[in-house]
Structure 1
Amino acid sequence: MSRLWLLPLLLLSLHATSAAGAQEEPGVAECPGQRCACGCVGTAGIPGLHGQLGAAGRDGRDGRDGSIGPPGPKGDVGNSAVDGAKGEPGFPGRTGMHGELGRPGQPGMKGDPGDCATMPKSAFTAKLSAPRPASGSPIKFDVILTNSGNHYDPSTGKFTCVHPGAYYFVFHACVYSESVFTHLKRNGEVVHKFHSAWVSSWPGVALSGGAVLSLKAGDQVWLEVTGAHNGIFSRSDIDSSFSGFLLSPE
């Protein structure tokens, strides 16, 4: 810093030397008013030394921010195995608006009615018109009360199965003056036995019983008195009867 005051003097000396050299250089035209008093042109002076560098200037003010440039083209999709791990998932988007509900459609046309299943019918009730039927043969209950389908034949006393299934048969009799032994038969085979013993101290007793039989089409069922005792009684004010009906078809 002690030598900085020499810098102006050196610059002034260099300027004067350059001006004198330019006037006295041989072969160079003389400039008016640059001659010395004797009229001779002088030789060029020795160039001066370079001056020392001055101190660095202060930093300038920051420039204004430039405008944002246009976005660059989209880069190629990288390979996650090479370019690094997969980024975190973004936040869920906002829920969209609900769509409008449609109106219910018109009811369809009514379908055609289906076939109605009909259960076959078979039922009968018949009673005796006279007491003590013959033994060893089908009892002919000849007074018909019900005979749906006409599957019972009062002339033979037999019921013939038309619709296969389960049937219920019941026998009711008034017993008077003698005991009774009665068999329920299917195709000539005894399937049930009814018995009532008569007691002389009683004027009359009742005999009732029934059974459920599984029948096939064509099977026949009847009641038959066995033995010498036949106390089955019937008159206008007392009835003995035989009934049967289909419980469930196959």
Structure 2
Amino acid sequence: MKTTIQFIFAFLTMGVCISGDCNAGHGKTTCITEDLLQMFIRVNRQSDIKPGRKERTAFLAFLKNNPVLSNNVIKFDDVETNIGHHYNPTTGVFTAPKNGLYILSSMIMAYGGTTFHYEWRKNDAVFSNGYTNKTSSGSQSQTFIVELKKGDRIYIKHRISSGEKLHGGRNSYFSGYLLQ
């Protein structure tokens, strides 16, 4: 984009020739050139804020094994993406780095034709429940748009004390990103 703006700037400053008065007796060509130069400087300053410098947050973590859970936090330990490192695979918790609107998603697959009961938690309070059916590949996907404050903690927890099992091998995942 910088190259395009530079080309336009060069073209306009070389080809514009308008007669008349401008501030302090300068011709309009000079005024247009000065205005374009100021606009070019502003655009360059804004483009110096590169996308990589902006704080981005995104994560995608899969489940490696087929854990038997008993009312514990699900630790999605096969991390594919963790921009900003706000998801902790050791604890299974995503911590919001700043206030904003987040998209959070999961796909939970029960192991071997069993059921699996789980819940989404925000700061230890349940905000959604999930359940998979007793089928050979019983699964459930959920996606939420959630407003979070800096420091809010989100995680998925098994909600039954029995020995229900999750299907690992990258069949179950937890993901999220900062929308705005």
TM-score (norm 1): 0.52
Q: Which has the higher contact order (CA 8 A, sep 6+)?
A: 2
Percent identity, aligned pairs only, is: 24
Query: Given the alignment of the two structures, is residue 185 of structure 1 paired with residue 113 of structure 2, yes or no?
Result: no
Cα contact 1:192–1:211 (8 A) shared by 2: no
Query: Given the alignment of the two structures, is residue 114 of structure 1 paired with residue 45 of structure 2, yes or no?
Result: yes
Q: Choose the corresponding residue for 1:144, options 62, 79, 88.
A: 79
Query: Given the alignment of the two structures, is residue 198 of structure 1 paired with residue 122 of structure 2, yes or no?
Result: no
Partner of 1:105: 29
In structure 2, the CA distance between the partners of 1:134 and 1:231, relative to structure 1 (3 Å rule), is closer
Cα contact 1:179–1:230 (8 A) shared by 2: yes
Within 2, Cα distance between the matches of 1:226 and 1:104? 73
2:37 maps to a residue whose letter is K
Q: How many residues align?
A: 143
Q: Secondary structure at the match of 2:113?
A: strand
> How far 1:133 sits from its partner (Å)?
4.3
Partner of 2:167: 233
Q: Choose the corresponding residue for 2:156, options 223, 228, 236.
A: 223
Cα contact 2:109–2:132 (8 A) shared by 1: no
Alignment of 1:1-250 (within 5 A): 102=20, 104-106=28-30, 107-108=33-34, 110-111=37-38, 112=41, 113-116=44-47, 119-175=54-110, 176-199=112-135, 203-227=136-160, 228=162, 230-235=164-169, 239-248=171-180
Worse overlay, 113-122 or 140-149:
113-122
Within 1, Cα distance between the matches of 2:56 and 2:167? 31
> How far 1:136 sits from its partner (Å)?
1.8
Where does structure 2 lack aligned partners over 5 or more consecutive residues?
Answer: 1-18, 21-26
> How far 1:197 sits from its partner (Å)?
1.9
In structure 2, the CA distance between the partners of 1:162 and 1:133, relative to structure 1 (3 Å rule), is farther
> How far 1:231 sits from its partner (Å)?
3.8
Cα contact 1:177–1:231 (8 A) shared by 2: no
Within 2, Cα distance between the matches of 1:133 and 1:168? 28
In structure 2, the CA distance between the partners of 1:149 and 1:166, relative to structure 1 (3 Å rule), is same
Within 1, Cα distance between the matches of 2:134 and 2:99? 38
Partner of 2:15: none
Where does structure 1 lack aligned partners over 5 or more consecutive residues?
Answer: 1-100
> How far 1:164 sits from its partner (Å)?
1.1
In structure 2, the CA distance between the partners of 1:187 and 1:133, relative to structure 1 (3 Å rule), is farther
Partner of 1:96: none
1:219 maps to a residue whose letter is D
**RMSD of equivalent CA atoms:** 2.0
> How far 1:229 sits from its partner (Å)?
5.6
Cα contact 1:180–1:229 (8 A) shared by 2: no
Per-residue Cα deviation, 1:11-67 (whole angstroms, up to 9, x for no partner):
xxxxxxxxxxxxxxxxxxxxxxxxxxxxxxxxxxxxxxxxxxxxxxxxxxxxxxxxx
